[in-house]
Structure 1
Amino acid sequence: MFFKLFFVFVFLSLTLYSKNIDLGWLKKKPKTYARDFYIWQYLKQNNISPKHAQEAFNLVHVKNKKILYAYSSHKNNDKINQKITCLKKSSSTLVKSSAFCIKEALSFSKASKLSPKELKRIILKTKKEYPEYSRLIALLNNKNFKKISSSLKAKDFVWLFSNVSSSFRINKLNLTYSEKFINEIKYQKGFSRFLKLIVTNNLMNKAQKSLLNINSSKLSSSNNFFLAMNALSFNKRKKAMVFLKLAAKKTKSSSKLSKILFWKYMASNDREYIKELLKIRKINLYTLFAHDYYQERIKNVVYSLKTLKTSASTFDEEDQFAWIKVLRDTKKMNKTKLLKYEKTFSSSKHLAHFAYVKNRYENYNKSYFINPYKNIIKDFPIKRQNLINAIARQESRFIPSSISTAYAMGVMQIMPFLSKAIAKQKKEEYDIFTMFNAEKSIIYAHKHLNYLEKVFKNPLLIAYAYNGGGGFTRSMFRKGLFVKNGQYEPYLSMEKVPYLETREYAKKVLSNYIVYASKDKNRITVSSMLRTVSKDARKSIKK
């Protein structure tokens, strides 16, 4: 998973498959997310002592629930064990628990789903030990949310709005807010999240309308862009253009500028903005749209890459720490280094590695759309080949040992819970480490995509589900995204996807898909790929 996806490429020698991980080996490895993954696996073993579990836990770079749960099974730390016990309790059970348990495990989102009686009990229980937590929970018990903008401080209101559950927000906070109030809270910490939560949820229509007259001259580029999308939801083109011009002034990012230029065109029908888009070399959905408009082909695409094609390379493509050395060494590139890595990555199995390094050498002036695993996918339907390449390019740049901060694994970045479920479906013995094998990762992704394609049909919608999950994707549709054939659809819905990572991920996967599908003089346009999105979204809700 990408956006801002941080890849780490994990060491994986065949000797580790299905074998215990040694603490001494862990201690020798640098503090990275990669080592954290192996610490997680180490802590899941039953044959380690509490002392060794503690030593491994102390090595962790970033602690998360996975590691905490695995560590707690060794019963080393009473406070952590108590916290884990609390985290496992349901909201209704937490109400009856200690103040510590409530504070540690009852989020405000969960609390907002409780009854007034239960909230009152929580407020009283936590008031002495955690007065600020108790005070904030008390905000949820407000009896008249219609007057909330006048009864709460701006800071508390933004906090409340941003931390409650989606259902609470829709049912109690979808209100008409005064222009004065909106202009008061816009400088509060958390306003960006407040704005996003309103604009990305079409069921928040009253609150959305309240944003139309905000003075946004001092807001960020991203906030102004969201305000422009909100204005276009009400077909307020002139207001949208004001926000878009401010958004453009406040960024130098070519990705953001291409998006802004596209929407300036959509809001004005002025083709000059399309001409400006053509000047941007970066390949994305917006620049592809501009090339479609003028029926021009993208010029900086590289589909194939020559290597020395020898079998003499000793580089282990599954050794994370060897790859880390390469990444560090290639931050600054020169011709000598390029020639060195041309020899290092001389085998066909290192095509992805060489493309990565060469792209750095060229300062990303070219876009590599290679097909390094064509022998694995050659018998798949062409559309599936394009989809797998599009996803793999975005997920991992085709590097077999990739792992995300959430421990999504391999070329296709499959989460452990999903790979375990797929192994069960295939009636195979499950070994988590085999997910770093390129062929295994692709075969498992292929099976998962069979299901996603059956439900969501369109590559864009499949990408949302691949990244964010099918439940999340359907919930977007139920909140009004993608299901209507509006003037700016489905483009407007694409900008209103709630999570930044998933929002940008799907656009990039679709762009990749179009470029792969347009190889060999084929011409696949952005508009043709999006033609059935609304229909497919509506159908998927029923499945």
Structure 2
Amino acid sequence: MKKIITLSLMAFVFSEARMYSIDEISTMPNTITKDYYIWRFISSHITSRDEAQRAYSMVTFPNKPLTSAIKAKIGHVPKVSNSYPIIKPNYNYTPKEARVLNAKIGKNIPWSGATSNKAQYLEVASGDLSFGSNVLLGINALQFNSPQKAEYFFQIALSKAGNQPKIDLSNFWLYKVTKDKSYLDKLVASENVNIYTLSARDILGLPYDNIIVPEFDPKAKASIDPYSPVDWEN
């Protein structure tokens, strides 16, 4: 899972970075760094409306600075077909589970529907839903500032976790909503190295164990620009 970096922070870090053309931006991989350069391109006074709209169509992670910039340039915020939400778990409801959810709330509300509708998912009894669905429900509860509901869903997710990475994910989110450090202890004790176990060590101020530094192919090094934020992120 990639750490979300705001455009305002990147603007500070890369304030002296050069401006990329729209053709150069189009060749960049879909990353937050690319979105930063799209934002700079759209915000430039020399960028035309058509160029700004073309650049915005390449956005991967829409956010307020980007939407504000494009709205100021063309008067509205176009839909972006290839974008992802800021929180994008690697899970989704199966058609069967979607039917179960809709039956529980008595309405046909898709997960991608309006945020206000998703509030109804807070009352779902999700014991018969999968690990992934409970993770989504837990994150949804957090978006509605309902940590107790989120804890309920993450506890069910933990009970359905079939492998160590899923157990670690559940324990990490349970720590986030309860601040109970016993979950961090469980993460530190995990033998699986992942973003959740490493984050637990960071929070507790513990060193990483058994760190392996890979050796890079000398031929590959030649194609990497150490001064390019795009290469660093990609």
TM-score using structure 1 length: 0.23
Q: Greater RCO between the two (CA within 8 Å, min separation 6)?
A: 1
Q: Which has the larger radius of gyration?
A: 1
Query: Normalising by the residue count of structure 2, what TM-score does the alignment of the two structures yield?
Result: 0.50
